[in-house]
Amino acid sequence: MKKCYTLLRRSNIALFVLLVLFRLLSISAAEEVSNPLKKINSLKMLLENENAEAQNEKANLRSHLQKCESFLSTLPPGDQDSINLTQKAIAKDKSAIAKTDLRIQEINKRLKLSDRARTQLIKGSGRDIGFSVSEIKGQVSIIRKGTNKKITLSENMQLNPGDKITTAKNSKASFVLLDGSRFSIGPESELELIEDNLNESLTKFTKGKLGISIATMKKLFYRRYQVRTPGAAVAVRGTKFDIEVDAKGKTHIFVHEGEVEVLGKAKIVAGESWHETEQQEKKGGGNV
C-alpha cells in the first residue's frame, strides 16, 4: 500500500512538472506572437532563409545554363533538332534566373524594411514602416510629408506615412510591404499613405486605378488594411482586388480572391464587383 502511494505521489509530481513546463512554453509562444520585436526578428530570419534558398536556386540555374551553352557549342550545324531543344533549355534557364533575381531583390527590400522597423522599435522612435518601391514605369512623382515639392520617384526610395504618389499618363508603380503585400498604381492615379505599422496600414486613394494583393502571415502579423476613397472605406485582409476611382470620384471595386468589405455598404467576394453609382454587386471586373 505504501509503495502504491509513493508511485502515485511520484506520478502526480511528474504530471505537475509537465503542466508547469507546458504553461511556460505556452507563455513563451504567446510572447513571441505579441512581442513586436520578436515578430520582426522572426520575420527577418524567414526572409534570410528565403534569400539563401533563392541564391542557391539561382546558382543551380546558372550551373545548368553553363552546361547547356557548353553542350550547344559541341553540336554540329546539321543537328537542328538538338540545337533547337538546347536553345529552348537555355532560354528557359535565363527566364528562370531573371525571375529569381526579381525575387531576391524583393526579399532584400523587405529585409531593409524589417531592419528599419527593428531599429525604430529598439530606439522607441516610432512605429512607422512604410512601402518599398518595387517597380516604376514612366513618370511617377512623390510629395514628401511636410513639403509641397514634387520630386521624381526612384526605385531606391521608400514610401513613408504622409507621402503622396502621382502617376502620369502611361505610367505606373508598384510597392512591396513588410509582410509581402503589394500595391500597384495605374496611370494617372493618386495615392497617399496615411499610416503603416505592425498593426495596420491605411491608404487614401483619390484617383485612377489601384491593384492590391494582401499577404497573410497569421503567425507573425495580423494587420488591418483599409483603403479610403472619396466615397468609400474598404476593409481588406488576405485578398486580391482592384479599385478604380473614376473622373466623377465614384468608386468601383472588383475582387479576384478572398473578400473585401465596403464599410457600411457591402461585402464583395471573389468574382464579384461593386459600383458606388449602383450600390450593388455584379459579376465582372478586370485588372489594373
Q: What is the pLDDT of residues 46-100, one digit of tens each?
A: 999 999 999 999 999 999 999 999 999 999 999 999 999 999 999 999 999 999 9
In angstroms, what CA-CA distances link 244 with 156, 197, 285, 286?
27, 25, 11, 10
pLDDT band at residue 238, thresholds of 50, 70 and 90? confident
In this predicted structure, which of 99-113, 221-235, 272-286 has the lowest mean pLDDT? 272-286
Q: Is the pLDDT of residue 215 over 80?
A: yes
The average confidence (pLDDT) of the chain is 84
For cell 511556460, name the residue.
Answer: 24
Position 107 scores a pLDDT of: 94
d(C-alpha 233, C-alpha 224), whole Å: 13
Q: Is the pLDDT of residue 23 over 70?
A: no
Tell me the CATH number of domain 131-283, given options 2.60.120.1440, 2.30.40.10, 3.40.80.10, 3.30.1330.60.
2.60.120.1440
Q: Is the pLDDT of residue 157 over 60?
A: yes
pLDDT band at residue 219, thresholds of 50, 70 and 90? low
**Greatest mean pLDDT range, 7-11, 21-25, 215-219, 234-238:** 234-238
Q: Is the pLDDT of residue 31 over 50?
A: no
d(C-alpha 178, C-alpha 114), whole Å: 7
Write 60-66 long-range contacts (CB < 8 A, 24+). Answer: 61/93, 61/96, 61/97, 61/100, 62/93, 62/97, 64/89, 64/93, 65/90, 65/93, 65/94, 65/97
- Residue 264, amino acid: G
pLDDT tens, 170-194? Answer: 999 999 999 899 999 999 999 999 9
Q: Is the pLDDT of residue 10 over 70?
A: no
Do the beta carbons of residue 119 and residue 84 sit within 8 Å?
no
Position 208 scores a pLDDT of: 96
pLDDT band at residue 126, thresholds of 50, 70 and 90? low
Name the residue among 38, 86, 13, 64 with its Cα closest to residue 219.
Answer: 38
DSSP letters for 67-90: HHHHHHHHS-TT-HHHHHHHHHHH
Q: Is the pLDDT of residue 279 over 60?
A: no
- Average confidence (pLDDT) over 212-226: 80
Of residues 114 and 35, which shows the higher confidence score? 114
Position 110 scores a pLDDT of: 93
Q: What is the pTM of this model?
A: 0.76
d(C-alpha 151, C-alpha 227), whole Å: 24
pLDDT band at residue 34, thresholds of 50, 70 and 90? low
Position 24 scores a pLDDT of: 40
